[in-house]
Amino acid sequence: AKREGRGRAEIYTDALALEAQDRAELERDLLMGLQRDEFLLEFQPQVDALTGRAVAAEALVRWAHPERDLVLPPAFVPLAEESGAIVALGDWVMGRVCETAARWAEAGMDHRIAINVSARELGQPDFFLRLRHAMAAQGAPPAMLELEITESLAMDMEPRVLDQLAALRADGVAVAIDDFGTGYSNLARLKELPVDRVKIDHSLVRDIVTSAQARTICSAVVGLIQGLGLQVVVEGVESQAQMDMLRVLGCTLFQGYHLARPMNEDAYLARYAAPDAD
């Protein structure tokens, strides 16, 4: 028992040490990776179930780390937020999204591309200026862009940020509340935010097929958002049964593995750039 206990303790310590080393190393690698152009974007469609067509694509960053498999955001975005490297990473994402949006518009596509914006980025006094510069530099039409701001962040925005967001929206950029249902929304405030859409978090959707209670909650949230005149996008849809249920609840816009996984631009265009039918 003693040996077993020590063995466990050693493993535990090793794991922590490894984690600590990983953190410092990861942060260094991240800034280096930006310089070396190791990041890439994947796109996941938001599909209108009525037409079967994509209306927007969410841009999701990935890191082609030279010594790892493709690294997904949960492994580096939180760290990048803590260290501030997210600002540089976010600039890169903005630039790439604007460049892509300009090309898509040129090709006659009308899907918006959504950018995830973190708290740290939105807190930069020149965030909106940099976004506008990226749009202008790349020639990205505002109507091709969307910003995703998490519910908790959205509830916390200062008047200055709200004004800038409203101005951007007046110019044609769409604004979505992300991960809705995970925070503690002030519903009166939700009504006053300059937003177009609300993305319902997958945690609200997970059990709707099997649990009447989950269904009731989801239905109430959908009704609330639609009642405020906002569009609902449901995230994390993983099965046809979920989608059928959500359609009964009045949802039409869906994002999730059941429709498509995030994919590279070529795959996205091959699948969702509609041939000019009319």
Q: How far is the CB of 134 from ligand C2E (least distance, A)?
A: 13
For residues 230 and 249, give the distance between their C-alpha atoms in angstroms, rounded to a whole number. 15
Decide if residue 61 touches ligand C2E (CB under 6 A): yes
Binder among 72, 79, 162, 273 for ligand C2E (CB under 6 A): 72
The reply on whether position 148 binds Ca ion by CB under 5 A is yes
Q: Give the interface segment with Ca ion, choosing from 22-30, 71-79, 111-119, 212-220 (CB under 5 A).
A: 111-119
Shortest distance in whole angstroms from residue 274 CB to ligand C2E: 22
Q: Which of 46, 116, 242, 255 binds Ca ion (CB under 5 A)?
A: 116
Instruction: Tell me whether residue 6 or residue 36 sits nearer to ligand C2E (CB atom).
Output: 36
Rg (CA), the chain: 20
Q: Of the ranges 7-15, 45-53, 71-79, 162-170, which one interacts with ligand C2E (CB under 6 A)? A: 71-79
26, 47, 59, 109: residue in contact with Ca ion (rule CB under 5 A): 59
- Stretch of residues binding ligand C2E (CB under 6 A), selected from 46-54, 127-135, 165-173, 233-241: 233-241
Q: Is residue 118 at the binding interface for ligand C2E, with CB under 6 A as the rule?
A: yes
**Does residue 33 touch ligand C2E according to CB under 6 A?**
no
Residues that bind ligand C2E (CB under 6 A): 44, 60-61, 72-74, 77, 86, 90, 93, 116, 118, 178-179, 202, 236-238, 256-257, 262
Residues that bind Ca ion (CB under 5 A): 59, 116, 148, 178-179, 235
